[in-house]
Structure 1
Amino acid sequence: MTTTQVPTPARTAQTPPVKRPKRQREGAAWVFLSPWVLGACLLTLLPMAVSLYLSFTDYDLFNSPNWVGLRNYTQMFTEDPRYWRSVGATLTYVVIAVPLQLGLALVVALALKNMKRGRAFYRSAFYAPSLLGASMSVALVWRALFNEGGTVDNLFGTGGWIFKPGWALVTVALLTVWQFGAPMVIFLAGLQQIPGELYEAAEVDGASGWRQFLSITVPMLSPVIFFNLVLQTIQAFQVFTPAFAVSGGKGGPADSTLFYTLYLYDRGFVASHMGYASAMAWVLLIVIGAVTAVLFRTSRSWVFYASDTEGGVR
């Protein structure tokens, strides 16, 4: 007796995957995010909260904080002439160092873009100072170069730039300009994204190299210029190591290199006025935020994005 088997219908679709509950998926995400969250809370948010509290106190690192309200802020703005000299030195440094650094970085990036051989070598060589320039050892070498009897003095007979109030700040600014490698690499990446057809069309129309630079390179590179400008401006306001090394931690001569962060360090860790230093830190944070907001606001008139036909930020 033969048995007839009924064929089983073929599966036309795969079994849908089992979805985990939303709460379970979120729990797994928080497990992986927990190291960053703990680090942000313990190493950033908590110290910021403590610093904000200390800015309203008289604290010397050894005794309990004594609440003084706004006295640190009023003393800072009305009774401390060195504070305003540090503000002036920092603003002068930012105005000198940032444009020179970005200008040199752009010039070198343009040269490397058209280089056929050795581009990788020169790109690495120009980038190296950005890795070394923030170290104390390089800053001390820089001080020796511009010191009396140093290499620069022997070549030009300057008598030592670091002992002249008019040139000591320039010495620190030149060290920053020398570290143009990081913005240069960013500029080079941006230049390589500009379509070559634009330059070919401009050449057909008879545009000169300078005209191509102004009408094609600058507008197409404006987002990268804006990015580097914001980044380097924020870093310039926080400069510390070069000024500390060149001036020996004193901000001299005649407070010409008394940058804001150097004076903050002096008030907090040398004079043990940690409450006053905390107030200075919060003022610096507010100023950097305000300057960054102004840069973003003004970028509407000169930063061009490909998605914006009018050339402004929307």
Structure 2
Amino acid sequence: MSIILGTLQQGILFGLLAIGIYIAFRILDIPDLTAEGSFTFGIAVSAVVTIAGHPLLAILAGTAAGFAAGILTGIFQTKCGIHPVLAGILTMSGLYSINTWVLGEQPSINLISSPQNPVNTVFSIFEEMLSGIDKDIVRLGVIFVITALVSLILILFFKTRTGLSIRAAGDNDTMVRASSINVDRVKILALAVGNSCIGMCGAIYAQYQRFADINSGAGMLVVGLASVIIGEVFVGKKGVTLGIIFAVVGSVVYRGIIAAATYYDIFPAYMLKLVAAVIVAAALTIPAVKNRIKLAKSKKAIKNAGSVKAGEQNA
């Protein structure tokens, strides 16, 4: 039971990461590599503010940190004319130094309570308030409520004029420019919103694991992509509302796959990132393979039609 609850907790929590990746990768159609830096930025800021005695504020601070990282990447892309991939790499690389500085120039800090240094997290607060309920269920409830609220807010946001502008910019930014919409501003906002979700995920995760490490973001981009792609297996690419919901579902399924594989010793824990990479690579390769098969069938049909016509002429 504890394994199932743990899987649900992490799956729904990392659903925030998947939503952030979905906004950039699917809605805006931009390969944003900022994720690994903004996730760690959220962790670092949240850890420091939590230790200072403000766990609820820590989540908002981590979200704001991710928002700022997204703005920086957006400015690199739009105002500086830097390629989207390189812009994300620059922000991610710069954030490594900033995150180290935020953590007090050390690679990691812990949020474990002791009599001399009590550290409250958002989870411990609700566990004390709901002392009669199992702690794992309380944790799951907190994570579910936060993720559900964020998902609902984003679904409503992408139905507003600004949200529709972001969606249109992802489909055809040339047409959007012709409509007198500031595409640069729209892209910056979208990247900021996406990375704020990633930063929030990191902020909550820091309190969830009571630990902050400078290398926590390694491979998170691939994990988020894997979650998005698994979610699309259920509904395909059918609108933003279902995309956001099933990005979270995909995250839960991904965590379930990992938990099952680890529990049954199918592969060791250090292979998790490789599994995510294989899932993403396979999913991104399938459309190209389908197109090649379709093209080969078309060529064969044309060739057969030509052979039939030549035969008729000879007859």
Give the TM-score taking structure 2 as reference length: 0.29
Tell me: higher relative CO, structure 1 or 2? Use CA pairs within 8 A at least 6 residues apart: 2
Give the TM-score taking structure 1 as reference length: 0.29
